């Protein structure tokens, strides 16, 4: 699991499924936890990058290995009020 707190296998799934699965998983995670994702849909690169930027999460890692895209995303930590 790459030392992450959670893992998603989205191999063979096409847009928008990987993004929806990621969104639901992150929603249930604690702040600062990480999730690794393996996907084969090239649109996940754009989708996950935009998701992290818009939602304030950290795209800690993004790489390609053959036909597999690998990501590690850290859920944002909300500043104390």
Residues in the chain: 81
15 is catalytic: yes
35 upstream amide cis, omega within 30 of 0: no
Burial class (CB in 10 A: 0-12, 13-18, 19+), 15: middle
Instruction: Give the residue from 52, 51, 50, 40 showing the smallest Cα distance to 15.
Output: 40
Residue among 7, 11, 13, 15 flagged as catalytic: 15
Q: Which residues are catalytic?
A: 15
């Amino acid at each position: 699991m790459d030392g992450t707190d959670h893992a998603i296998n989205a191999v063979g799934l096409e847009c928008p499924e990987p993004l929806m699965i990621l969104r639901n998983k992150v929603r249930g995670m604690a702040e600062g936890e990480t999730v690794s994702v393996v996907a084969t849909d090239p649109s996940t690169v754009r989708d996950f990058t935009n998701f992290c930027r818009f939602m304030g999460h950290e795209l800690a890692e993004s790489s390609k290995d053959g036909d597999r895209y690998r990501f590690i995303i850290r859920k944002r930590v909300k500043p104390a009020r």
